[in-house]
Structure 1
Amino acid sequence: MIPARVDSLAAGTPADAVTIDEAVQLFYARLRSANWTVQPEDEARALCFCLLIRRLDPTVHPRTVAAILQGAKGHAFDATTLVNVLASLGFRYLHVMIDPAALDRRVMPALVDPFGASPKVLYIEDDHLFLFEGRSGHHVPARGQLDPGDIFVFSRLIEEDQPTSRRMRAATGRTWFFALMWRFAPQIRVMLVIAMGLNLLSLAVPILILAVHALVVSTGNAGALGYLCLGAGLVIGVEFLLRRLRSSFATWMTARLDYLVGCASFEKLLNLPAATLEGAELSAQIARIKSFEAVRDFLTGPLMASAMELPMAALSLLLLYYLGGMLVLPVFGVMVALCVVIWVAQRQTAIAMRIAANESSLMQQFTLESFAKLESIRADGLGPRWLQRYRELSGREQMAMMRLGNIGIVAELVAHGLVGISTFLVLYTGAHLIWAGSIGTGVLIAAVTLQLRALAPLHATVGMVARLEQLRNAIAQIDELMGLDEEETAERRSIATFKLSGHLQFSGVALRYDSKAPLVFSGFSLDVAEGEVIGIFGPNGSGKSSLLKMPLGLVVPQLGGVRLGGFDIRQLNPADLREQISYVPQHVDLFSGTVAENLRICLPIARDSEIEQALDEAGALETVRQLPEGLQTVLDPARIAAVQPLLRDRIGLARALLRPAGLMLIDERPSAMLLAGLDEDLRRILARRRGERTILFVTHRTDFLRLADRVVALTGDGGAHVGPLDKIMSVL
């Protein structure tokens, strides 16, 4: 590879080629208008970041970048933040310390962060090398020697080429967690080398015992004792340093793994189909994210140390055989017995742990049900019966936990007995060998120490069989989660090549919530023209909310299909699809953050003026202006829900209005909110947006249904009627 030099590339560049990149300036201004706060000293780097984005991925949408920058809010836009944002956009980086003139053109664009100067971007344009000055925003031909500094080069991170991707795991046969651990192979090798060093140092103890007995005790000469003490101190010091180094490696690797597994698990949960998540309990979702705790305990606890010390057992046996010959036989026999104890205890623990988990799950379900229905339990006088159920379930749970604990206690008692037997046999055999003159007293003392060292890892493992089973279950749970099919498979960060219209079609849709449940509706078909307003009503459980969620892909029908803008929604990327639909759920969720941030959830690049316009149309602008800091007031979701529920619902409406979508879905609003004034807001929105957006809304009020062009009446027994309100009412 011959590096492309600055001098040779710039030779044919005109001297006066100095330009200002208006596209970068506009991109930067668009992000700034979305409340991206950049300190004056960071503006040069922010402009360089915008140019890098435009060069690395010209199709990236500003809203994607703005959404990521919202997560980095409050941090100085330094080199670390820039790298993290680009990593979130799917780019890896390489930090190099070389002369910028020696960079190969194939790795450009590159961020040059000179020491004591403003950042710059080095890039190729029409086979010429240019330098983008972040401070001035100018593009100048790169000539001569460039200032030295940190250089960052970026490349697209291809998910399918990662060791943890499904394709690579299928090729290598590794599980997800093992593939992730493979990234830490260099660190694991270093830890194994350190463990080997510690194992060798541990052999110094019996060797020192032999030396003291041979050079001091037997001869009566204390002159060598000082040198032996010095050697012992040196061994202790080196062992301390090695153990500290091993702990540092283990702590770093644990923290890194914890971060990677936690982020990957959370991202996986976000990308799973809605039906997969709705069928699982909240406790199960939390348990999936917290699965790594058992792995963390293994890496930082005594179990990891015992695993690293297993080679010590073989070394101790070899040295024991070298010193005492026949003394190794009882130790080897006890080691085999300990392995059998571990195997039996592991099998029994696995069964007992599954039983205990089932009992704990039943107890947890009962507790949640009790708190949810506490008022009904009191009103119906079910307290004594509920207390009896609690005693039964609690007793079953505690008995299962006791049986699980007893397995470990019995296994540990057996292990203690085996170690005692081993010590007795070594002493017994050693005494006979001493009487026979085969070994000396010092060898027997060293042999006892060696046999304890050889048995220590297996002895410790017996007491941690339950943790081993928890570790195995945690890894299996992580692998199971990461092996689930995601909802999203297409590229998410590029600009949509088309904008969907509001033309919505349901074709022969059939839906049931469970395989054993009756059909909610069957053969439902509806063709909604662009700009049409459709009202939906029906009894509870008739599928009104499910019908609204179908265009979003949140509810998948068993039969039939849904088309939006002429496209089958199954052919579209779910994220791109939902970005083109405005949706007001039945229960509006607010997040801890400012009013503006809660609105920008649906449109990260929204300007403050656009947010105010949406709030005004939803009837919430005056209320927001009365808040202490207006749009920048930090909301407390729990307090808003209790004190100002009307504001919460109006913010939900404003979110839907803020998103420039051709289809708007409004689920049924609570009667209390409608009576408090939300009904006038809905009337105003329906009147103003009629013809501009296709609107589907759910309501039980006849006065709202009269605002619709057509009405859908769901009967709850699988049927549906579509038509003008008067005609539908005459049929029903």
Structure 2
Amino acid sequence: MNVTEIFTTAPAAPETRKTPGLPFSERLAEALRNDALDEFYDESPYAACIIPLLKELGWHNYARELLEALPHFSEQLELVDLRNILVSVGYESRPKRVAMDDIQPELYPCLFVTDTDDVFVLLKREGDTISRFNAQLQKYESVSPDKTRGTAYVFTDTHPSHGMVASNSGDAWFYRLLHRFKHLVIHLLAMTCLINLVALTVPLFIMVIYDKVIGARSIETLPYIITGVGVLLLADLVLRHLRAQLLGSIAGRIDYLIGTETFRQLIFLPPVFTERSTVAAQLSRLKQFDSVRDFFTGPNAAMTLEIPFAILFISVIAILAGWLAIIPVAVILAYIAFGTFWLPYTSSKVMQSGIAKTNKQRMLMQSMDGRKEIKAIGGESVWWERFRETSGDAVMANYKTFVASSVLNSVSQSLMTLAGAATIGFGTLMVINGDMTIGALIATMALVWR
């Protein structure tokens, strides 16, 4: 590869450019404050790429915006940190496996990491010449494109002034935030698919034990079957543990990003939007985002991931039991019909409960702030009566929410019980008629209950 160096040697790093003991964020902040970005030096190749990449992307050197995006007290900047910084200042990135010669000119500038972990900022391409920043040597150079393979991180400017349509919805930033985790969601779906395949084999092993081991009295094969079941259960346990770790990581990351972003949105709001609401009302709205974290840390996330694979279980039931697969399909349709009718009612009760709880918290905070005024006007009895009514409304709203949720759970349990009873009843008739084996019936029951 022909290389023409624009700077023949990497600029020396004087002592003033890298203060000993200071983390990376502090050193970059010092360079921003002193307007010395051209002299900034860091040993990490990803840290060295920040300023050249931002300048080529058209960043306008808003020091405060960049300082807020930096990881605090970080000694070494990694690729994940660099991408997070760029997302925070308005540049989303997506990886693309490609050879350097195959990168289209319209994708420049981009970050290119070779398979040997060399890091470059590809600035522009003119004919057979690529201008780039060499992060290892920390110098600009011109090279001829070659077939060096690696990962190109292509950037998209998300600022409204760069062709992106600004959404009028206040939740647009929230959905853009969740979009950053789409690749992890794909990994979660792949892990859930493996978990369901492992779980699917356990009922099949049970069928083999009943039909082949017990029926044929073949004790010799039993240890091998039990060993296989043990290995599969161990694999299931490991996969579930890994999925729980990944869900916890996503929950923690989303909780951090949502917390900082909502606070940023709140700080930059005009005062007129916050002065009209009480502190309790604003805190209640902020706490609503905790439900996102609770979704990933609770059982709902795992249940949601497993819903698409219900088709797999129904297909296996159809293979084992024929038309008995209609029973779980009917139960699913009954779930959908009842949910369409009952979930809006439950949601309205949950909303009313939240409003009542907010009103109670607001009155408590007003009471604590205005105790002197209440005593001065002799309004203790009136205020106590108002609080009693507010507390009663909150308790009644919680009661109605509990009843609505209990009805939903009761109907769900009843449908499951009905599905099991129908399966065992019709399955027994099929076994008597010789259309199904005992092992297949037990395996079908296990799949239906799952």
TM-based fold match above 0.5: yes
Relative to structure 1, the CA distance from residue 156 to residue 279 in structure 2 (aligned partners, 3 Å threshold; closer, same or farther) is farther
Aligned mates of 1:191, 1:293 — CA distance in 2: 21
**Match of residue 241 from structure 1:** 238
Aligned mates of 2:262, 2:295 — CA distance in 1: 19
Relative to structure 1, the CA distance from residue 101 to residue 394 in structure 2 (aligned partners, 3 Å threshold; closer, same or farther) is closer
**Match of residue 507 from structure 1:** none
For residue 205 of structure 1, the aligned residue among 184, 197, 202 is 202
Q: CA shift at 1:353, angstroms?
A: 1.8
SS at match of 1:442: helix
Q: CA shift at 1:228, angstroms?
A: 0.4
**Match of residue 335 from structure 1:** 332
Aligned mates of 1:53, 1:316 — CA distance in 2: 53
Relative to structure 1, the CA distance from residue 158 to residue 359 in structure 2 (aligned partners, 3 Å threshold; closer, same or farther) is same
1:121 aligns with 2:138: yes
Q: Deviations over 1:24-81 (max 9, x none)?
A: 99xx999479699xxxxx98439x989975995499999x537865997983664459
Q: How does 1:59-458 map to 2 (within 5 A)?
A: 64-65=62-63, 75=73, 78-79=76-77, 83=82, 94=111, 96-97=113-114, 106=124, 110=133, 112-113=135-136, 120-123=137-140, 158-160=157-159, 167=165, 176-453=173-450
Aligned length: 401
SS at match of 2:216: coil
Contact 1:45 1:77 in 2 (8 A): no
Q: CA shift at 1:223, angstroms?
A: 0.5
Contact 1:96 1:152 in 2 (8 A): yes
**Match of residue 23 from structure 2:** none
Identical columns (%): 23
Contact 1:108 1:122 in 2 (8 A): no
Q: CA shift at 1:205, angstroms?
A: 2.0
Give the letter for the 1:313 counterpart: A
Relative to structure 1, the CA distance from residue 309 to residue 78 in structure 2 (aligned partners, 3 Å threshold; closer, same or farther) is closer
SS at match of 1:96: strand
Q: CA shift at 1:347, angstroms?
A: 1.3
Contact 2:251 2:297 in 1 (8 A): yes
Aligned mates of 1:51, 1:427 — CA distance in 2: 65
Q: CA shift at 1:235, angstroms?
A: 1.2
Contact 2:431 2:437 in 1 (8 A): yes
Aligned mates of 1:259, 1:290 — CA distance in 2: 13
Greater share of residues in helix: 2
Q: CA shift at 1:294, angstroms?
A: 1.1
Aligned mates of 1:215, 1:29 — CA distance in 2: 70
SS at match of 2:73: coil
SS at match of 1:94: strand
- Structure 1 length-normalised TM: 0.47
Contact 1:423 1:451 in 2 (8 A): yes
Relative to structure 1, the CA distance from residue 281 to residue 157 in structure 2 (aligned partners, 3 Å threshold; closer, same or farther) is farther
- Structure 2 length-normalised TM: 0.73
Contact 1:216 1:225 in 2 (8 A): yes
Aligned mates of 1:437, 1:51 — CA distance in 2: 72
Q: Deviations over 1:579-625 (max 9, x none)?
A: xxxxxxxxxxxxxxxxxxxxxxxxxxxxxxxxxxxxxxxxxxxxxxx
Q: Deviations over 1:260-319 (max 9, x none)?
A: 333332332233233223223323433444443212222232111112222343222222
Aligned mates of 2:165, 2:112 — CA distance in 1: 29
Contact 1:52 1:121 in 2 (8 A): no
Give the letter for the 1:65 counterpart: A
Give the letter for the 1:112 counterpart: A
Give the letter for the 1:308 counterpart: L
Q: Over alpha carbons, which structure has the higher Rg?
A: 1
Contact 2:284 2:358 in 1 (8 A): no
Relative to structure 1, the CA distance from residue 43 to residue 188 in structure 2 (aligned partners, 3 Å threshold; closer, same or farther) is closer
Aligned mates of 1:162, 1:181 — CA distance in 2: 22
Q: CA shift at 1:217, angstroms?
A: 0.8
Identify unmatched segments of 5+ residues in structure 2: 19-26, 93-109, 125-129, 144-149
Q: CA shift at 1:229, angstroms?
A: 0.8
Relative to structure 1, the CA distance from residue 390 to residue 213 in structure 2 (aligned partners, 3 Å threshold; closer, same or farther) is same
**Match of residue 553 from structure 1:** none
SS at match of 1:384: helix
Aligned mates of 1:390, 1:372 — CA distance in 2: 15
Relative to structure 1, the CA distance from residue 274 to residue 452 in structure 2 (aligned partners, 3 Å threshold; closer, same or farther) is same
SS at match of 1:45: coil
Give the letter for the 1:270 counterpart: I
Give the letter for the 1:123 counterpart: Y
Q: CA shift at 1:201, angstroms?
A: 1.8
RMSD: 4.6
